[in-house]
Amino acid sequence: MTSNPTIKRALLSVSDKTGILELAKALADRGVEILSTGGTAKLLAEKGLDVKEVSSHTGFPEIMDGRVKTLHPKIHGGILARRDLQSHLDAMEEHGIGAIDLVAVNLYPFDKATAGDNVKLEDAIENIDIGGPAMVRASAKNYTDVTIIVDPADYGKVIDEIKSNDGSTTLKTRSGLAAKAYAHTARYDGAIAAFLTSLEGTEGALEDTPARIEYPEVLSMQFHKVQDMRYGENPHQSAAFYREAKAPVGLLANYRQLQGKELSFNNIADSDAAWECVKTFEAPACVIIKHANPCGVAVAESTLNAYHKAFKTDPTSAFGGIIAFNRPVDEATAQAVAKQFVEVVIAPSFDEAARAVFFAKQNVRLLEIPVETGMHKFDYKRVGGGLLVQSPDERNVQQSEIKVVSKRQPTEQQWSDLMFAWRCAKFVKSNAIVFCKDGMTMGVGAGQMSRVDSARIASIKAQNAGLTLADSAVASDAFFPFRDGLDVVVDAGASCVIQPGGSMRDDEVIAAANERDIVMVLTGVRHFRH
């Protein structure tokens, strides 16, 4: 059975200095000898800690501008030696190698150094850490004897365990930290590979500042598991949810669940659709999602009124949906929402009174997410044997960019309705037709093979909800290929239409708009959402 060796010597050498002083003090208080290098050694010494430079330990100076300092048998022998093998112990004694029991190392900030558009190749290369990954990998390989820490978030856990375990860590902790360490070096090497395979217009000369292609030849991704799920999209599928290591602020993966059952696969997918839609609006907004499509979107002077307007669009579909707000939720809004069957409610925050309302409905999942405009770098779509990769659809067309192509000019109210409708259509599955008026969706037609059918479905939904489409605005996520789709929406009551344009039959469709005496504006931008 593996023993838990007492930590007597530690090597601390970190780029990210967060928490390193606290770790060093805790180790020093237990009489642990501390080896260190460079800036870490300087910081610890300045704080009054007894630190031994690695070069003093090895008897070999740092050379080649620091490229060679920890790459030495006294370092790697001290890390890699198995304490349960006499031959290893004999080799250590013969060569004067002392055991190193704990290693805290994180790596040169390669991502940060290569984040700009004008990165000199030499600067990038010099930020490729060699000694650090070597120590991390060696320590992780010998986790039965060595504690390896690559994440400052783990310092506290290790300190507590050393205090409560007579100066040692448990095998379970060491093995878990080792797995984390290999994930750390894998992500690091992936970032280097992605950078180097994105370069163009260079022979590889260090003085070059090469251009970079948006999509590297080798794409490495790393996600960390948040939870296993009972099942996936369907009960016969298994599933899990993973989060990016550094997910941008404002994205769904940064949620904080306040109450409710564990999120399901479909909960998370639909919550993402709701959140991405609601945060695009500047005014207080409410979005209700069912099966990844908005079934109600509205803006108002308050979250309560926004909710009432959104719910009116399609009360039937809203049953068991996902509801998102871009403002804090108060008691009155919570009381209105709680009257309906809802799976998830998302908002930047919930006040105490709102929390109390939902507390009576413990199955309702409450998620807090900060409202920020951060976006991930790529969108992904899995296909058989491959991956489609694209930039996220961040485009929000402004009114100043839109071209009026009809004889009739939009009124101020129509402009407001058109812009709102366009924002909504962006988040509806193609082919999308969305009727809107006075800051709320009146009818949503989503995901049909024919744009005409989407228009008819939107009209039917409005009728079923008891809403009139008279003088409404219509958004189409892509152009009308024929006038028949336009005729359907005008027959339903639309007085103005916003669409991308770009069809060979644009002139025919514009002529139809003039014939029907309605407003038509073109964005020049489409929002397919498959």
What distance, in Å, lies between the first and last C-alpha atoms of the chain?
55
> Using one digit for the tens of pLDDT, what is the confidence trace for 337-352?
999 999 999 999 999 9
The pLDDT value recorded for residue 515 is 95
- Which two tokens mark 156? 């506290």
Strands 199-200 and 102-106: unpaired
Cβ–Cβ < 8 Å for 187, 222:
yes
What average pLDDT does range 470-486 have in this prediction?
Answer: 92
Contacts of residue 165, Cβ cutoff 8 Å, sequence gap at least 6: 4
The phi-psi region of residue 31 (left if phi > 0; otherwise alpha if psi is between -120 and 50; otherwise beta) is left
Task: Please give the CATH topology (third level) of the domain spanning 9-200.
Answer: Rossmann fold (3.40.50)
Average model confidence (pLDDT) across the chain: 92
> Using one digit for the tens of pLDDT, what is the confidence trace for 422-451?
999 999 999 999 999 999 999 999 989 988
> Using one digit for the tens of pLDDT, what is the confidence trace for 197-220?
999 888 888 888 888 898 999 998
Confirm whether 291 is a catalytic residue: yes
Residue 461 pLDDT level (bands cut at 50, 70, 90): very high
Confirm whether 57 is a catalytic residue: no
Q: Where are the domains of the chain?
A: 9-200, 250-368, 402-522
Residue 262 pLDDT level (bands cut at 50, 70, 90): very high
> Using one digit for the tens of pLDDT, what is the confidence trace for 508-527?
999 999 999 999 999 999 99
Q: Say yes or no to pLDDT of 122 above 70.
A: yes
The pLDDT value recorded for residue 1 is 53
Same fold, 250-368 and 402-522: yes
pTM for this entry: 0.87
Q: Say yes or no to pLDDT of 471 above 60.
A: yes
The pLDDT value recorded for residue 372 is 87
Which is catalytic among the residues 141, 180, 308, 312? 141
Task: Please give the CATH topology (third level) of the domain spanning 250-368.
Answer: Cytidine Deaminase; domain 2 (3.40.140)
Cβ-based neighbour number of residue 2 at 10 Å: 13
What is the number of helices (H) and of strands (E) in the chain? 19, 23
C-alpha to C-alpha distance for 147 and 6, rounded to whole angstroms: 11
Which is catalytic among the residues 291, 308, 312, 361? 291
* CATH label, 402-522, candidates 2.60.40.10, 3.40.140.20, 3.40.50.720, 3.10.20.600: 3.40.140.20
Q: Say yes or no to pLDDT of 37 above 60.
A: yes
